[in-house]
Amino acid sequence: MGPSNPWSPNWRPDPTGGRLLTIRVARRGAYLAAGIYVPIAVVAAFLAANPLAALPPAFMPPIATIAVLSGVAGVALLGAGLAPAALGSKIDAVVVGIALAIGAPVAATASLVIWGWVIDTWLIGQADVAAPFLRAGVSAALQVAPLVATGAAAWVMILRWVSPPLPTPPSTPPPASTGR
């Protein structure tokens, strides 16, 4: 256990406040990612075809609701993990935006597929639900790809605008002088 682990016997509070700022930025990134994801997911759910053709069309709204709500947690976790890196240099912010644009549909679709597996366990041997959910999630993500890219760019810009910069760690040496 290192000294930054709060359960370590050598743990000490962070005198710079950087740890608290990082926690707050991660929380802000999670809420912002979830907030940007929900409208895009509603559009994707509206455009998606019924993944289970055997079910009547009346089942489509509950399935769409499950799809939207199940993706919120995955996208929020992704936003929390990427948020501190988004406050680095502008190149870091661009890379984080690309990572969010690629990772958000993957996280949302993976959450939906997990729901498919759960439903498969309830309907033992009666239906294969995970595979149609995967196909529906991927096709819906492709249909809203421009919205996802716009949402990822907005997430990075809003997060950089509302968050203070993180302090540099004390172990980082100062930049070298040019000798002039």
* 109-128 pLDDT tens trace: 888 888 878 877 777 666 67
> If you write DSSP's letter for every residue of 86-120 in order, what string do you get?
HTS-HHHHHHHHHHHHHHHHHHHHHHHHHHHHHHH
Q: Tell whether 5 is covered by a domain.
A: no
The pTM for the full model equals 0.79
Does the pLDDT at position 35 exceed 90?
yes
Report the mean per-residue pLDDT for the chain: 84
Tokens of 63: 């399935």
Domain coverage including residue 131:
18-162
Q: Tell whether 168 is covered by a domain.
A: no
Q: Tell whether 118 is covered by a domain.
A: yes
* 58-80 pLDDT tens trace: 777 887 888 888 889 999 999 99
Q: Tell whether 79 is covered by a domain.
A: yes
Q: Tell whether 141 is covered by a domain.
A: yes
Does the pLDDT at position 42 exceed 70?
yes
Q: How many CA atoms lie within 13 A of 125 on its CB side?
A: 0
- Total of domains in the chain: 1
Q: Are 104 and 78 in contact (CB under 8 A)?
A: yes
Residue 45: pLDDT band with limits 50, 70, 90? confident
* 97-112 pLDDT tens trace: 999 999 999 998 888 8
51-55, 128-132, 169-173, range with the lowest pLDDT: 169-173
Instruction: Between 2 and 79, name the one with better pLDDT.
Output: 79
